[in-house]
Structure 1
Amino acid sequence: MATVDRPSSHREELGIVINSAGSRFAGVAAVLFLGVPIVAYLSGDPRAMFYVHLGLGAFWFGLDFFFKFVLGPALDEVPDEAAGMINQKLVPKMAVVAEPLSVGVIGSGIALAEMMGYWDSPSLWLWGALGIGVAMLLIGFGPLHYLTTKMGVELSRPEPDGERLDELFGATMKWGLVQTVLMLVIIAMMTGIRWQI
């Protein structure tokens, strides 16, 4: 595991997070979550894209809820040392999975709408889903990216600052809850889109 006292750039911080997660793990996550939607789109089969979008979306939704409402509360109940050891491995892996997964889900949704002809006469539901998807990407690649990168760097240190981690984790959970609400809203939007068929 990398240990750096003070990275001088965001690029160095990202390097620490990727190294902590494992560069092979990060590479496989990126190829899988970005490559599968591309292959489905190139197949020209809307059914393939539908199942890719559905599968990736279910994985993202399940991961989000499991992390926030099962794993997070469970880690709160164990000693700080044990939670710290788990988070040293968990946070970097979550960071390198979340971003390509979010792009894969939202990108496959946009591509699926195009393959099904929804962009020929886009409805309010479609524009709403697109707007929420863009908002989720902005949050994911903005504050959530920044906060989880800072957490990963702090966890990589020989003696992580517990107060700083608590502060970063609290802010991450607030933005993460916004993402959860947006996920529920976008699912409702997609239901509205499906009613149009």
Structure 2
Amino acid sequence: MIEERHGILSPYSLLVLLVPIAALIFVLSFGNLLSLNYLHVLTGGTWTGIDLFMGIVMSRVMKGLDPQARTQVIKRLVPVMLFLMPALASVAITSGINLADRMGILTFGSPTIIAAVVIVIILSVQGFGIMMPTEIKVFLELRKKEPDRDKIIRWGMRNVKIAGSQGAFQVAVIFVMANLALGFV
């Protein structure tokens, strides 16, 4: 059983991690091309929407809050973002690669595929190399008996801004994917 201290971990945190992964395993094992496409669009769209919301809306909201309120919002966001976003990103990327492969368009001679790969690499470096480690730092700081509010706010705000950047890259990858869907490989 996971210890819930200061509301950081909850069964919901684990649920948001496991549902997308379970869906991917199910679709890859038993699904058809349509279900794989649906999973890819659903997880990719959710990932994009959350990043755009975080970058456009939450960054403005957070700037207007006092430090105590910012800390409380970040404390509530961390369990969800720490588990949900890596799950969504991993499932969207994995299902997208599998989808392109099954459709026969995963060729690295295609400028469109190369553009998609470059954007996905940028998103992965930002998400798994910057945002996720920062979420872990926030998580660990929040577990302390006396967390450093300034660190939590600084790290949380950085991730909110990076999420906005991710949203812009995801809009670019949607453009590339739309071209792939129309056959402009």
Note whether the superposition's TM-score is higher than 0.5.
yes
The structure 2 residue matched to 1:2, chosen from 2, 5, 17, is 5
| 1:95 maps to 2:82 | yes
Report the counterpart of residue 181 of structure 1 in structure 2: 168
Say yes or no: does 1:20 pair with 2:2.
no
Partners of 2:134 and 2:108 in 1: CA distance: 39
Name the counterpart of 1:167: 154
Match of residue 94 from structure 2: 107
**Equivalents in 2 of 1:107, 1:153: separation in Å?**
29
Match of 1:58 in 2: 45
Equivalenced residues, count: 181
- Provide the C-alpha distance between the structure 2 equivalents of 1:185 and 1:21, rounded to a whole number of angstroms: 34
| One-letter amino acid of the structure 2 residue matched with residue 84 of structure 1 | T
Between the aligned partners of 1:68 and 1:132, the Cα distance in structure 2 is 18
* Distance (whole Å) between structure 2 residues aligned to residue 189 and residue 31 of structure 1: 29
Change (3 A) 1:44 1:160: closer
Indicate whether 1:82 and 2:69 are aligned: yes
Query: Displacement, 1:102?
Result: 0.4
2:116 to 129, 147, 164: 129
Question: Per the alignment, in what secondary structure is the counterpart of residue 111 of structure 1?
Answer: helix
* 1:26–1:93 CA contact under 8 A, matched in 2: yes
The CA distance in 1 between the partners of 2:100 and 2:131, in whole Å, is 27
Q: Does 1:45 align with 2:48?
A: no
Q: Distance in 1 between matches of 2:77 and 2:157?
A: 16
Q: Is the 8 A contact 2:55 2:162 kept in 1?
A: no
Cα RMSD after superposing both structures: 2.4
Letter in 2 for 1:64: D
Aligned residue in 2 for 1:31: 18
Q: Which runs of 5+ in 2 are unaligned?
A: none
Residue of structure 1 in register with 2:137 after alignment: 150
**How far 1:176 sits from its partner (Å)?**
2.7
Counterparts of 1:71 and 1:180, CA distance in 2: 13
1-structure distance, mates of 2:57, 2:161? 16
Aligned to 1:139: 126
Q: What is the TM-score with the length of structure 1 in the denominator? A: 0.79
Among all aligned residue pairs of Structure 1 and Structure 2, give the percentage whose two residues are the same amino acid: 22
Matching of residue 70 in structure 1 with residue 57 in structure 2: yes
Aligned partner of 2:9: which letter?
A
Cα separation, 1, equivalents of 2:69 and 2:150: 16
Q: CA deviation at 1:114?
A: 1.4
Contact map agreement 2:55 2:167 (CA 8 A) in 1: no
Aligned residue identity for 2:62: L
